[in-house]
Amino acid sequence: MYDLEKHSVEEKLNSFTHSIGAGLSIAGLVILLQQTAVNGGSTLAYVSYSIYGSFQILLYLSSALTHQFSDMPRINRVFRIIDQAAIYLLIAGTYTPAVLLGLQGVWGWIIFGVIWGIALLGILSKTLIFREKHLISDLMYLPMGWLLIFAVKPMMAVLPMDFMKWIFIGGGCYTFGIIFYISKKIPMSHVIWHLFVLAGGISFFMGFYLYLC
């Protein structure tokens, strides 16, 4: 039997966890921009962190509102579409400072172009082509997220190993969390997924703050 009360509690927790994420993302963006100013950062640094931070805020906020209005189908649908698009935007947004400020050079711009191209295709597939086949479009997140693996060697040549550790921890959190994202049998699975997303986001922030600012 469908437990409506349990569903309501889970949706409230889903909204709460990503509301926290939205707040942390706003604080994180402010910190990154302030640190960039202190270090006399370039215009590219300001733009890169603004892209990363803005799309992270968008993801958490749209996700929180999607779950907050889960019992209001029309409003929920609007925020769900934004949420689904924001996942692709956040992945590409997270790559932006990593490749433009970290990797740099030709490799950096190539990956930047590829990842944003995939993001735009992903948004189209999620909202138009595979909008009723969530598993198909969701599986696009993994190869997109791990595209950086092809640039590990040049990145390790120019970036500290500790930075790479934060990046791989973040990627691992997102990847392992997908188990809970697609699971329907594990209690509070989506709440757990949200916690993994928060952990992954914090890991990437730490890498950027400690080693790229």
pLDDT in tens, 153-207: 899 999 999 999 999 999 999 999 989 988 878 989 999 999 999 999 999 999 9
Q: How many CB atoms lie within 10 A of CB 35?
A: 17
The confidence score (pLDDT) of residue 2 equals 46
The confidence score (pLDDT) of residue 130 equals 53
The confidence score (pLDDT) of residue 129 equals 59
The confidence score (pLDDT) of residue 134 equals 60
CA-CA distance, 8 to 4, in Å (whole number)? 6
- C-alpha dist (Å) from residue 49 to 17, 62, 85, 119, 144: 23, 20, 19, 18, 20
Q: Which residues contact 1 (CB under 8 A, 6 or more apart)?
A: none
The confidence score (pLDDT) of residue 1 equals 42
The confidence score (pLDDT) of residue 135 equals 58
Sketch out the chain's domains with CATH numbers: 4-211 (1.20.1070)
Q: pTM, whole model, 2 decimals? A: 0.92
CA-CA distance, 95 to 54, in Å (whole number)? 13
Counting as low any pLDDT under 70, the low residues of the chain are 1-7, 129-139
